[in-house]
Structure 1
Amino acid sequence: MLRTLAARVRREWDRLHRAAVSLDGQTTFVLTSAAVLVVLQFILGDRGLFRTHLASFLPPDWHGLAGWGWWFGMQGLLGFVVPAVAFRALFADNRAEMGLGLGDWRVASVVAALYLPVVAVGTWVLSDGAAFQEQYPHYQPATRDWGLFLIYEALFLFYWIGWEYLWRGFVLFGTAPAFGLSAIFVQALPFAALHVTKPWPEALLSVVGGIALGALVWRCRSFWIAVPIHAAQMMLLDLWCTLRIRTGVTGKGLDAYFELWAQLG
């Protein structure tokens, strides 16, 4: 009986070994690394961790902005810097293979030029709500100090670069040799899963948005186009809410828009 059991264990071990060596090394590394990097972002990028263990090393007046900077910075580091360095060191021969080249920048520019005005108008309308002005920017002191606002938004941009490269760069281009066009859907799955705690309309739209952004990046052969497309939604909302808070202007129409700039002038 022991011989039979030992023989069965050997057979299963051989099957496991054959399966393991048949895996595509790049795809296995990219997907496993992406999962680890997301977990590390939630653990190491937590603002609570920053407040507990690191904030005491800074002046009290810096704690608020530094907390958001910690979260944004860890996303940029773990979503962009670490995977890009690993991708280049282990697999890619050039920036184009990593999704970091300019790609078809003409198509990307046209898409951005068509999309960003729509986002600007949409976020202008949303910013008229008190609920949005209470939430955006997340670091409220930035609404009263343009210096703080610019620092906050620069850190926020680094966050978006990290968020977008992890999925539309590292995972999309990293799995493309194995999955081909289907890599667009592979990168959209974890992207949608990370939106599961959002309100249900946003959660469902993340599926569509993830596929659409993946397809756009695939067409342009560069992840960079995804950054303004995605980041503009939040950064413009931050700007409009800040301007409304500073001026007290309400309303969604052109009269409110011109009044806002007249008061700033």
Structure 2
Amino acid sequence: MNFRTELKNLLVIIKGLDKKVVIVFISVAVLQTISWYYTSGRFYQTAISESPLVSPETASPEAELSRFIYWFLGDFGLLFLIPAFIIKFFFKEKLSQYGLRKGDYTFGLKASGFALVLMLVIVWFISALSSFSESYPTLSSARDDWNMFFLFEAALLLYMLAWEFIWRGFMLFGLEEKFNYYTVLVQMLPFVILHNGKPVLETFGAILGALMLGVLALRTRSLYYGIIIHFSTLFSIDAISILRYRTGEYGTGLNSILNIIRNL
């Protein structure tokens, strides 16, 4: 084997690659790696927190909230602002080409409404499982403080905007020209992998969720409806879990709904 010849051939192959596709893949890999190691709640707890040896479970409510805000705002910068910068100044394209527009709002709103009703029904039943309801909200102190809950959800909304943008905006639309509809499958893989460690039903659900949200984004040419569905689903999971926790009601029938309402 001639090393120089092999290197020369490799360089020829690299020069022939689609530069935009390469930038999308590499930037997503780099940004997600930075996110995992440096803007996560875990990094905040060990490197930034005033009490790094205190576990999240025993931290004060304020310290626990600070950890999540650091994570959500950090990822908003990494997964939204930086890809938006790349689109504007490297690709010289409009952000609207990557889903930041209303698109086919008639179809989008109908699809969102249908999905939300369906997800509310699903969430209602799976939240009755103790293994599921005990995991939410991830900010455990929000169970006893509605102000804490709404601050957490507001920060979560920014995070969801960034999360949808990196996968169903930057990656999906950035690779669409090269891979056509296969780009839905491409963005599904990292999305599902990043759900590993969550409750098993949520992780399996992420497979279908990623496919549906990817198809919806391409169909409507917009991210907004995916954000509505994704955030509203998480909000309902947290809210219903809190209501069950506060009222001690874990049934699934109509009487359970009435009991929750009566005991609010």
For the superposition of Structure 1 and Structure 2, which TM-score range results when normalised by the shorter chain?
0.7 to 0.9
Which residue pairs with 1:89 in the alignment? 89
Number of equivalenced pairs: 257
Partner of 2:68 in structure 1? 68
The residue identity in structure 2 corresponding to 1:220 is T
Q: Which residue of 1 aligns with 2:238?
A: 238
Larger Rg: 1
Counting only pairs closer than 5 Å after superposition, residues 1-265 of structure 1 correspond to structure 2 as: 8-56=2-50, 62-198=62-198, 202-264=202-264
Q: Is the alpha carbon distance of 1:92 and 1:226 closer, same or farther for their aligned partners in structure 2, counting shifts above 3 Å?
A: farther
Identity %: 30
In proportion to residue count, which structure has more helix? 1
Is the Cα contact below 8 Å between 1:88 and 1:98 reproduced in 2? no
Q: 1:93 to 1:46 in 2, by over 3 A?
A: closer
Query: Take 2:200 and 2:247, find their aligned partners in 1: how far apart are those partners?
Result: 33
**For residues 148 and 200 of structure 1, do their structure 2 counterparts lie closer, same or farther at Cα, with a shift above 3 Å needed?**
closer
TM-score relative to the length of structure 1: 0.87
TM-score, normalising length: structure 2: 0.87
Displacement of 1:147 in angstroms is 0.7
Cα deviation code 1:93-145 (max 9, x no counterpart): 32221221111111110001111012112212223333333221111211111
Q: Which runs of 5+ in 2 are unaligned?
A: 52-58
> What's the C-alpha RMSD, in Å, of the aligned pairs?
2.3
* Range that drifts further, 193-202 or 19-28: 193-202
C-alpha distance after superposition, 1:157-183 (max 9, x if no partner): 222222211111110111112222222
CA distance in 1, matches of 2:74, 2:85: 15
| Distance (whole Å) between structure 2 residues aligned to residue 229 and residue 63 of structure 1 | 29
**Shift in alpha-carbon separation, 1:262–1:199, aligned structure 2, 3 A:** closer
Residue identity opposite 1:126 in structure 2: I
| 1:187 Cα offset (Å) | 1.5
Change (3 A) 1:261 1:201: closer
